[in-house]
Amino acid sequence: MNLPNRLTMIRFLLAIPFIIFLQETESSKYAFIFRMIALVIFIIASLTDFFDGYIARKYNLITDFGKIMDPLADKILVISALVIFVQLEYIPGWMSIIVLAREFLISGIRILAAAKGEIIAAGNLGKYKTTSQMLVIVIALAIGPVGFYLAGHFFTVAEALMLIPVILTIWSGWEYTFKAKHYFLEQ
């Protein structure tokens, strides 16, 4: 297994302690400490995403394994955070549902492509989407459940910032679906 693929696998493994520590921020008297530990783990995991792609491209170490597993590792890390953020009331459920729905749709498209012997790598818009999601998660973990009132409704900073990744999620989902329409039309 080459270095970029090892970094991807490390990201999978880091998701476990990240989820454990983030989950403990709700009810523990050590919530702040656990949130900071989750933040550090998430930053390290996010950096593995940057470095695995950089190293794979620079040293021509791109593999089919990496094309499939790298986005999957991202999905597990990001979706875990978003689901727990809903539980912690950092973001509303609909934002998490949009991200989940898009990921299931794109995974389905990738499965259809794989059945035809094709691999669909992540495009630039999908990479921007993932980067924006990771940045919002880092900010939300760093500042916690702070927010503001607008028109009688309390918005967390995470909720306000999450609008950008949600828009990119919808846009990139549309782009993937449009590019892969031939998989649907063949059926």
Distance CA 179, CA 187 (A): 16
177: how many CB neighbours lie within 10 A of its CB? Answer: 16
Query: What was the pLDDT predicted at 114?
Result: 83
* pLDDT of the residue at 97: 98
pTM as predicted: 0.90
Which among 69, 103, 97 has a CA at the least distance from the CA of 172?
Answer: 103
User: Three-state DSSP class for 152?
Assistant: coil
pLDDT by residue for the chain (187 residues), tens only, comes to 999 999 999 999 999 999 999 998 777 789 899 999 999 999 999 999 999 999 999 999 999 899 889 989 999 999 999 999 999 989 999 999 999 999 999 988 888 888 888 877 778 998 899 999 999 999 999 998 888 777 777 788 899 999 999 999 999 999 988 888 887 777 6
**Ordered structural domains, the chain, with CATH:** 3-185 (1.20.120.1760)
Predicted pLDDT at 173: 94
H or E element that contains 92: none
DSSP, collapsed to helix, strand or coil, labels residue 53 as: helix
Backbone angles phi, psi at 150, to 5 degrees: -145, 120
Q: Are 21 and 85 in contact (CB under 8 A)?
A: no
pLDDT of residue 181: 84
Q: What is the pLDDT of residue 187?
A: 65
8-33 as b/e: b if 16+ CB within 10 A: bbbbeebbeebbebbbbbeeeeeeee
